[in-house]
């Protein structure tokens, strides 16, 4: 994004999309800031990131997930010396692994109840498909191909707070898109000083070799 700023691509005529599935809550809130960088580069990055929108996995926000996070952190402190989480809540992938074990247990129990074998992987796998249950991360929905229907969040920089915030949630499980924008449609994904929509034909495209 620093290079985009240098090439004047944050002038309001361009929008950049970033796929970031693994960042922590703290890292995703202010990705433009580097404590060990110069004030000038942080300023330029801050300006450039106004033209960036990030797609990430929806982070669970339920009280149940908060309790789950506290228990994971408590066990980590007890079982692994000198290890602490630097986050308010553990990464959503930790919850996803938890729900994967629950999914396997449900399918295994059903297989055994039908006089199946614990070694019959094909039978156990078939019982994982086409099913929905409530996990620690929320609704877990597995389609007919064995893929999980995931929920995603769209993040945009709020100029008032200098932080990226969730503005849209795309739910494959509920087949819906919900808006949570506090930024306002006039500033979503728009960099520079532009106050009106840009042309669909960018005029400042100057590539360098």
pLDDT, tens digit (0-9, with 9 covering 90-100), for 21-76: 777 776 788 899 999 999 999 999 999 999 999 999 888 889 999 999 999 999 98
Give the domains, in start order, of the chain with CATH numbers: 2-58+152-179 (3.40.50.2300), 63-142 (3.40.50.2300)
Q: Are 3 and 41 in contact (CB under 8 A)?
A: no
197 pLDDT above the threshold of 90? no
Please state the rounded mean pLDDT for residues 149-165: 90
Q: What is the mean pLDDT of the chain?
A: 84
Q: What pLDDT was estimated at residue 185? A: 42
173 pLDDT above the threshold of 90? no
Angstrom distance (rounded) from CA 58 to CA 151: 6
DSSP 65-83: HHHHHHHHHHHHHHHSTT-
């Amino acid at each position: 994004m620093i290079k985009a700023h240098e090439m004047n691509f944050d002038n309001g005529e361009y929008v950049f999309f970033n796929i970031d599935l693994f960042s922590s809550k703290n890292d995703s809130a202010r990705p433009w800031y580097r404590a060990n960088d110069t004030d000038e580069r942080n300023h330029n990055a801050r300006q450039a990131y106004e033209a960036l929108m990030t797609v990430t996995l929806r982070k669970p926000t339920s009280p149940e997930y908060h309790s789950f996070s506290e228990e994971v952190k408590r066990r980590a402190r007890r079982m692994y010396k000198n290890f602490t989480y630097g986050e308010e809540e553990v990464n959503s992938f930790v919850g996803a692994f938890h729900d994967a074990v629950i999914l396997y247990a449900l399918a295994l129990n059903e297989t055994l109840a039908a006089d199946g074998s614990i070694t019959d992987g094909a039978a156990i796998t078939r019982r994982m498909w086409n099913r929905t249950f409530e996990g620690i991360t929320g609704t877990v929905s597995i389609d007919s191909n064995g893929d999980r229907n995931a929920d995603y969040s769209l993040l945009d920089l709020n100029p008032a707070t200098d932080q990226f915030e969730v503005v849209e949630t795309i739910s494959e499980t509920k087949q819906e898109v919900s808006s949570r924008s506090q930024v306002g449609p006039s500033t979503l994904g728009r960099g520079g000083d532009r106050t009106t929509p840009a042309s669909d034909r960018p005029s400042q495209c100057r590539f360098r070799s």
